[in-house]
Structures are given as C-alpha cells and as structure tokens.
Amino acid sequence: MRTIDHVIGGGSTSGGARTADVFDPNSGQVQARVRLGGQAELDAAVAAAKAAQPGWAATNPQRRARVMFAFKALVEANMEELARLLSSEHGKVIADSKGDIQRGLEVIEFCCGIPHILKGEYTQGAGPGIDVYSMRQPLGIGAGITPFNFPGMIPMWMFGVAIATGNAFILKPSERDPSLPVRLAELMLEAGAPAGILNVVHGDKEMVDAILDHPDIAAVSFVGSSDIAHYVYSRGVAAGKRVQAMGGAKNHGIVMPDADLDQVVNDLTGAAFGSAGERCMALPVVVPVGEDTAERLRAKLIPAIAALRIGVSTDADAHYGPVVTAAHKAKIEGYIQQGVDEGAELVVDGRGFTLQGHEGGFFVGPTLFDRVTTDMVTYKEEIFGPVLQIVRAKDFEEAVALPSAHQYGNGVAIFTRNGHAAREFASRVNVGMVGINVPIPVPVAYHSFGGWKRSAFGDTNQHGIEGVKFWTKVKTITQRWPDGSADGTNAFVIPTMG
C-alpha cells in the first residue's frame, strides 16, 4: 500500500512511528497511509528552512517572482493530474477540485507581482537634510496548518505569499487528504525554489503543538474549526508568534421579496450543496423575508433539490460527491436527527443515501429543513455538510439581526433588486465578507479573505495586501547625510583621474 512521506529539504523523507489511513471516499476503502511526524520531523524541517531562508530572502524580488511564474505554469500544465489526486482523497467532483486549485493559483498570480507590492514608502525632506523610508522584510520561517476541505487552495493562499515575500515555509496539511500538498511542494522545487524553502510535514495534534511551540517559527497561519482556531491562536501568541487563525462559519443568505427567486434557487443549490457543503463559505442558512417569500422559495427549492445528482468524484454530471470520511458522514447525519428532535420541519431527508456500486462510499443526500429557529443547536453550530436550513424572518430588520447576532461572522449574502436595501444591509451587518446577489462572496486574490467574531482570530486577513503585511515586518530608516566628505573637502567636487 502507498505510504505518503514528508517533504523536507527538497526530498521525500520518512519519519514518525505512527501512520493514519487515507480513504477513498467514493468506495470507503483505505487507499494509502500517511506518516504522522512529531518533534524530530519538525526539527528537521526547521533546520532545512533555516539553511535556505537567508539566501532566499537575499534573492531579489523579481527573481522570486520568476519562481512564482514557473510554479503557476507547472500547476496549470498538471491540472488534470492534480485535480484527480485531490478528488481521490477528498471526494469532491473533478470540476470542484479544479476550482479549488484555480482559486489557489489566483493568489500565486498575485504573488507574481511581488516586486511592485514590496516597494516601501519614501519621504524626501522630512526634516532639514533628512529623508525617511521604509522597507518590508521577511519574518524568517512561517508555518501553515491547513484543513481537508481545500487541500490546494488554502496551502497556496499561505505559502504563496509567505515564500514570495522571502520567507521559508513549513506546511502541515490535513492528514485526510495529504497527497496534493506533497505534489505542490514538488512542483515548487521544480519551479526553482531552493530546497528547504517549502517543506511539508504530516501529523496530528502532536505536530500542531510542536509547530506552535517551536522557537524558530515566527508566524503561523491556520484554517479549521473555531474551537481549534482559538486554541491555535492562544497557544501560538503565548509562544510569541504572529498568528492568524480562521475558524468556522454559518453563512446566511437573505432573500428579499423582490429577489429573482429562480436565480436565488440556482445559486442556493450550488452554494449550499456544492462540494457536499464542506466549505467555510458555503451558504447553509437561507432567510426569506416575509411568509409569502418563504412559501414561494420553498416551493421552488424542493424540485431543484430533487434534481441534484450525487455521484462519484469522477462523474462529470454529478453536482457533488461523497464527504471526506465515514466519521464525518455520521456527524452530519447526527445533526440531521438533532434537527428533527429539536422540532425543525424536515422537508428533504438526505440520510441513508447510497450509490449503486459504491455502497461503501461516504455519501450524504441533500437535506432541507424549514422553520428552523435561532435557539436550535443545529442553527447555532456549523454542520459542514449538504444541509440547507430555512429560517424565516418577518422583516428586513430581523433579517439583518440574524447573521449579525450569530457567533460566526464569516460570510453573508443578500438577494434583492433594491439598491438601497443592499447598501443598507452591507453597511450594517456584523459579518466580515458580504455578497450582494453573490452567494459565495470569497474576495478575489488581490483583496483579502477574513471573517469576524468566532470565524477569525488575529488582526490580519489571508492573502492580498493583508497577507503581505502578515508575512513581513516593517523597518523604517531615517537618514541624514552631512555636507562634505570625511576629510572636509567639498562633497560636490567629483574626483578626477591623473
């Protein structure tokens, strides 16, 4: 059986006495084992990073950008292979896997402009004969701890900006689908990055804690559940590190009475059920404003959900595939039962779904609840599966209040033809990312990604200029050149030969 090793110092490295199973979610079978490292493997990765980083930081930004250009070209050339590798371990359909990788590549494209982005500020004549300028310098060694749901995009969000700005990087991907991050590290080496600039170490909590405690790691970026994000942030900051930790979400979609319901339903089926709902920017809660809007929306949603095709990840006609593990499937189905027990109306039940010929796969059918209330646990918590909940609001004020009061504040959307309502909503809602007639408002790569409340811990967002700020520190120089040379001669007389 295939064993997935670490990538340390530019080569594949075995290490760690323990392993974890890597499943094929389509069949439920174990397809590989990944080595779970610990302190020794991390120390080796840090040593490789320390050896490589000073020379890389001294490499001019234009040459670092050329590596980013080459990496982008290699990923594009190998897109089909990479997407299939991703799908084989995650379960998302090939089209979603390509989208996962492409959104990561958009940050790499942003990094190709790093020479311009790193230009500092300059003030001439800040005082008599005094000039002041600033420069951004790398932190040294950064680390990223990434989740299973976007094994291509989120690592590239992190290591792209960190490496482009002159840092070395240690990536700890999810042990559930680790093969794609390993391939990305191999392609970065092929693109011209020095050995040791991008290392991949596998592991579980033991490795996470080793990263958070290691004195030579200056900064840590994390994406995962909110409880773990808070833990990572607290422990990392206590160890003196710069930390950004992105947590969970419960994104709402507000549907005003004047919205185009056909477009809303089309957007909702993709945003709620795409990638089996395993996205922090999924839209699992829809809030129709007014009973008439709710009834019309529900009537259109039911047949649209019935038309969804669930298939294996290689099925080009499937809307979504299996979830990542049997344990996650059981967790989602447990939430569905809890919703029933809490008194929500189960309109479409996705439990018990099986796919002929793939009966062991981790499939969950699309599920729809109506008349969900804010006191229900299933509303308060992130389900992270193909489950859509209808929470009815009596008016616009209640619709603004629902996402604003929720513990998570990652993303929100409003569907309306009314510009004033949209503008008012965007201004007032207590959420970090807002979509107006856009169901999944993930910002483009040259803006930044980050939620509020328990969706994010730390003051700096992912990618864009915010990412550059996170992975660099500012040095400000105040200079004055005295008149004349050291020997007292006129500094403006140019020496001549002979």
Angle, CA 205 vertex, CA 202 and CA 207 arms, to 5°:
45
CB 211 within 8 A of CB 143: yes
* Bridge partner residues of 474 (DSSP): 136
Percent helix, strand and coil across the chain, each to the nearest 5: 40, 20, 40
CB 50 within 8 A of CB 56: no
Closest of 151, 181, 154, 19 to residue 90, by C-alpha:
151
Closest of 212, 490, 195, 256 to residue 396, by C-alpha:
256
Structure tokens at 32: 């590989």
Q: Where are the alpha helices (DSSP H) in 137-238?
A: 153-164, 179-190, 205-213, 226-238
Based on the residue annotation, tell me whether 280 is a catalytic residue of this protein: yes
Show Cβ contacts of residue 464 under 8 Å, excluding neighbours closer than 6 positions: 110, 443, 445, 446, 447, 448, 449
Catalytic residue among 280, 368, 413, 414: 280
Cβ atoms within 10 Å of 137's Cβ, excluding its own: 15
Show Cβ contacts of residue 466 under 8 Å, excluding neighbours closer than 6 positions: 448, 450, 460
388 by DSSP, 3-state: which? strand
> What's the CA gap between 423 and 401, in Å, rounded?
15
> What's the CA gap between 72 and 107, in Å, rounded?
10
Tell me the catalytic residues.
280
